[in-house]
């Protein structure tokens, strides 16, 4: 087994952002700024939002945090987005998902100004990416592309199977991989897919973003292939201080004696998501330069 840890990859991305940010500021621009909106108290979301804040501050970005109660009304959230859209001192806006069920997430995302949409979730950015135009690319798929590049894992002419078709990972991942330059042959599986194994065993790269631990094990993967594990699942574990441990969607330990490359959880592509958000925020600031 080859462990594709993402700490070094993510640090090298952050180092590059740090240098570009210093240059940007030395040219007389103010520091890039990110506004993060969290609605409710989902513990996993709170952790993600904290990591995003820490990364932003470590790079010298300005960071605005809006923590709203779970019973926030949709119209009040939309009003906050309008305000952030208008503000000159805000370059990037991120609304942490999932939102409470009482709020229409699509409506909220659609309200974010596309030039501040550092998650790349608005219909404008999704559409632009789909036709290969300049766009903000969703952070997790963008981080996976960077990881594949870092480890020299070729995508051109390769079979890539993606398990999961979410708007956050599966769909944008498929679009990026099929684009000119990436040139992969892409299969996207979902919960109704018949004989999942047939699709994974023929793949050179399997990207698993199903949201369930144990979705695949070594028997799903052919020799020499790579597995990118996007899952972050909390497994009850009283022996841990927090009462849980993290596990991916792949059964990592089952790969020990196999000729397979695999990203770990934690320490895998989750780190890349945060780094890419910082890259998108810097991009947003550069594009809005002078405002
Ligand atoms: N929830 C899970 N992943 C993400 C992400 O990349 N961005 C946002 N905003 N919410 C998420």
Q: What is the pLDDT of residues 56-65, one digit of tens each?
A: 999 999 999 9
State the pairing for strand pair 205-208/226-229: parallel
Give residue 228 CA to ligand 1 midpoint distance, Å.
18
Active site residues: 52, 96, 119
The pick from 49, 97, 232 for probing ligand 1's pocket by mutation, whose C-beta has the most ligand atoms within 8 angstroms, reads 97
| Residue where the block lists tokens 């806006």 | 93
Residue ranges lining ligand 1, Cβ < 6 Å: 94-97, 119, 139-140, 168, 273
Give residue 25 CA to ligand 1 midpoint distance, Å.
28
Domain ranges, residue 104: 31-113
Atom of ligand 1 nearest to the CA of 98: 1
Could you give the number of structural domains in the chain?
2
Between CA 47 and CA 80 the distance in angstroms is 22
Give residue 33 CA to ligand 1 midpoint distance, Å.
18
- Predicted pLDDT of residue 177: 98
One domain, residues 59 and 160 = no
- Predicted pLDDT of residue 122: 98
Domain membership of residue 291 (yes or no) is no
Residue with CA nearest ligand 1 atom 4: 97
Residue with CA nearest ligand 1 atom 11: 97
Give residue 171 CA to ligand 1 midpoint distance, Å.
14
Domain membership of residue 108 (yes or no) is yes
Question: Residue 40 maps to which CATH number?
Answer: 3.40.50.10860
One domain, residues 143 and 109 = no
Domain membership of residue 70 (yes or no) is yes
- Predicted pLDDT of residue 290: 58
Segments of the chain with pLDDT less than 50? none
One domain, residues 190 and 85 = no
159 to 37, 67, 82, 178, 186: CA distances (angstroms): 37, 42, 43, 10, 6
- Predicted pLDDT of residue 289: 85
Question: Residue 160 maps to which CATH number?
Answer: 3.40.50.720
Atom of ligand 1 nearest to the CA of 97: 10
Domain membership of residue 2 (yes or no) is no
205 in Cβ contact with 155 (< 8 Å): yes
């Amino acid at each position: 087994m080859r462990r594709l840890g993402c700490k070094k990859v993510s640090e090298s991305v952050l180092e590059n952002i740090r240098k570009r940010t210093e240059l940007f500021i030395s040219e007389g621009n103010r520091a890039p700024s990110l506004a993060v909106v969290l609605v409710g108290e989902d513990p996993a979301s709170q952790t993600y939002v904290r990591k995003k804040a820490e990364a932003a501050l470590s790079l010298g970005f300005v960071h605005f945090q809006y923590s709203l109660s779970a019973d926030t009304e949709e119209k009040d959230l939309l009003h906050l987005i309008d305000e952030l859209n208008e503000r000159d001192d805000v370059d990037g806006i991120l609304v942490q998902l999932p939102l409470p069920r009482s709020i229409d997430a699509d409506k909220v995302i659609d309200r974010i100004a596309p030039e501040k949409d550092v998650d790349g979730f608005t219909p404008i950015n999704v559409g632009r990416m789909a036709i290969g135009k300049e766009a903000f690319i969703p952070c997790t798929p963008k981080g996976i592309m960077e990881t594949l590049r870092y480890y020299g894992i070729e995508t051109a002419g390769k079979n890539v199977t993606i398990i999961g078709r979410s708007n956050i990972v599966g769909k944008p991942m498929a679009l990026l991989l099929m684009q000119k330059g990436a040139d992969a042959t892409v299969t996207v599986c979902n919960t109704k897919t018949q004989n999942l194994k047939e699709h994974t065993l023929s793949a050179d790269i399997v990207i698993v973003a199903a949201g369930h631990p144990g979705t695949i094990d070594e028997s799903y993967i052919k020799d020499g292939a790579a597995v990118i594990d996007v899952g972050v699942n909390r497994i009850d574990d009283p022996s841990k201080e927090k009462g849980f441990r993290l596990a991916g969607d792949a059964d990592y330990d089952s790969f020990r004696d196999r000729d397979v490359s695999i990203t770990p959880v934690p320490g895998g592509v989750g780190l890349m998501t945060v780094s890419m958000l910082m890259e998108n925020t810097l991009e947003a600031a550069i594009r809005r330069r002078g405002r």
